[in-house]
Amino acid sequence: MKTHSEPVESNWAALREAQRQVALKVPNAALAVAIDLGEWNDIHPLNKKELARRISLLVKRRVYGDKKSVHSGPMCTGMTVNHEGKAVLSFEAGTDKLWAVDELKGFAIAGADGHFQWAEAVVVNGNQVAVWHKDIPHPVTVRYGWDDNPVHANLKNRTGLPASPFQISLEDK
């Protein structure tokens, strides 16, 4: 799958977003994120052992009620805009503190015109991400990992589980 140098529309990303929405809204549904395990030329990850480990974390939480272990990577659940015009993203509780090896990458932001630009992003207070672009003073929508092959997306939690790619808007509730 191709990786793009500019933000693009992506049917693969839209499919991932539909899966994320099901995991957030359907009781007892879950999503084991494997976006970092795939190969550019094959959507099926070669590292099946790691994928099975991630699924087992979800089973421990959902089936056996283990509330102590981190069961999932970060899942974005909300967006607000602060007084500086930065989009502030909230993430599902219980997925550990947010983290990236280097500066955050893979975030794109759009205003009311719907034109996405790559954005700057930083982790705030360990459980939020602030996202902005100097030319977009009134952000409306943020995307993360929105590409056919989002190799640049690097948001994880402290246990190393990757964030699910997503799209979120101010009007999403």
pLDDT at 42 over 90: no
**64 in a domain, yes or no?**
yes
**79 in a domain, yes or no?**
yes
If you write DSSP's letter for every residue of 43-104 in order, what string do you get? SS-S-HHHHHHHHHHHHHHHTT---SS--S---EEEEEE-TTS-EEEEE-TTS--EE-SSS-
**21 in a domain, yes or no?**
yes
Hey, what are 76's tokens?
A: 């974005």
* pTM for the full predicted model: 0.91
- Domain count of the chain? 1
pLDDT at 173 over 70: no
Residue 1 pLDDT grade (very low, low, confident, very high; cuts 50, 70, 90): low
The domain that holds 78 is classified in CATH as: 2.60.40.1220
CA torsion, ordered 120, 126, 128, 131, to nearest 10 deg: -10
Residue 5 pLDDT grade (very low, low, confident, very high; cuts 50, 70, 90): confident
**6 in a domain, yes or no?**
no
**25 in a domain, yes or no?**
yes
For residues 117-132, average pLDDT: 95
**99 in a domain, yes or no?**
yes
pLDDT at 17 over 90: yes
Give me Rg for the CA atoms of the chain: 16
Which segment of 35-39, 92-96, 114-118 scores lowest on mean pLDDT?
A: 92-96
**For residue 63, what are the domain limits?**
11-169
pLDDT in tens, 151-169: 889 999 988 999 999 999 9
**2 in a domain, yes or no?**
no
**5 in a domain, yes or no?**
no
Tokens 């140098």, residue located? 5
Which of the two residues, 63 and 88, has the higher pLDDT score?
88
> Exposed, middle or buried by CB within 10 Å (0-12, 13-18, 19+), for 107?
buried
